[in-house]
């Protein structure tokens, strides 16, 4: 007799699904400790590796997190809903608001690692901006931490000759951020393009984002265009995939 589609799943996946169902129904709540490997081995009659894989599924999906020496716990973190269109509207940054305010409501957002340097344009950046490789760029590196959890690494490239003497070259760009400052110098962004893909993180990225093992990252590359197609910024972002929901709302 042919089994159901559920019977064809690996044992670890069926255990993971059972644990997720228990979380959904409230049996385990945010901050609760999940059954350990020994518990799952006894309950389901499986090997330790199978039990470990089941818990690993929940960690890789951002549902649970391992705490050294304590076990695996239901993650006490609400995913960030990134509203890709609203956040970049001119009415957002043009009125002095951070583009992040479209996403975070009243949650606590901190930029805890900021550096601004002048560097030569890498080949791929030069190609997008239409300049020669090595042309001086103002490069802004930032790490964003939401509710105590690192969620995004951001690197922005802007032509140094364009932004020289502006607040863009300082750590704090002021109300409305980089785009408001660009508008003040006649380089207001009028069009954005974002490209999205995903991959597994490099070791440094995983460390800086404090990712659980097996958690992928989302890569968003945003290009900002001023009038007549002039590229004024290239922003490369690395997001903790387990911390985000990407939302795009638009008319048909």
Whole-number pLDDT of residue 189: 95
Q: Which residues contact 131 (CB under 8 A, 6 or more apart)?
A: 121, 159
Q: Hey, what domains does the chain have and what are their CATH numbers?
A: 5-74 (1.10.10.10), 80-247 (3.40.1410.10)
pLDDT in tens, 184-202: 999 999 999 999 999 999 9
- How many Å apart are CA 76 and CA 93, to the nearest integer? 31
pLDDT grade, residue 213 (50/70/90)?
Answer: confident
Whole-number pLDDT of residue 71: 92
- How many Å apart are CA 95 and CA 105, to the nearest integer? 17
pLDDT in tens, 7-58: 688 999 999 999 999 998 999 998 899 999 999 999 999 999 999 999 998 8
Whole-number pLDDT of residue 7: 65
- How many Å apart are CA 213 and CA 222, to the nearest integer? 27
- Is the distance from CB of 116 to CB of 139 less than 8 angstroms? yes
When mean pLDDT is compared across 17-31, 101-115, 227-241, the lowest value belongs to 101-115
**Helix residue spans in the chain (DSSP H):** 11-24, 37-44, 48-60, 90-93, 101-104, 123-129, 160-163, 177-184, 203-209
């Amino acid at each position: 007799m042919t089994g159901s589609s559920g019977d064809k799943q690996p044992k670890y996946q069926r255990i993971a699904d059972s644990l997720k169902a228990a979380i959904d129904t409230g049996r385990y709540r945010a901050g609760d400790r999940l059954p350990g490997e020994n518990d799952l081995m006894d309950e389901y009659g499986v090997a330790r590796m199978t039990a470990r894989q089941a818990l690993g599924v929940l960690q890789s999906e951002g549902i649970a997190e391992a705490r050294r020496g304590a076990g695996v716990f239901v993650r006490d973190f609400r995913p960030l809903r990134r509203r890709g269109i609203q956040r970049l509207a001119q009415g957002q940054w043009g009125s002095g608001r951070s583009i992040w305010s479209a996403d975070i409501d009243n949650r606590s957002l901190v930029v805890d690692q900021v550096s601004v340097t002048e560097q030569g344009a890498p080949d791929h950046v030069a190609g997008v901006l239409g300049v020669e490789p090595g042309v001086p760029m103002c490069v802004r590196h930032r790490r964003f931490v939401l509710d105590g959890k690192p969620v995004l690494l951001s690197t922005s490239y802007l032509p140094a000759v364009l932004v020289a003497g502006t607040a863009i070259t300082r750590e704090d760009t002021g109300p409305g951020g980089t785009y408001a400052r660009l508008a003040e110098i006649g380089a207001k962004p009028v069009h954005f393009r974002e490209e999205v893909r995903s991959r597994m993180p490099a070791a440094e990225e995983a460390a800086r984002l404090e990712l659980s093992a097996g958690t992928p990252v989302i890569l968003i590359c945003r290009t900002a265009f001023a009038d007549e197609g002039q590229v004024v910024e290239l922003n490369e972002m690395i997001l903790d995939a387990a911390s985000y929901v990407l939302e795009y709302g638009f008319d048909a």
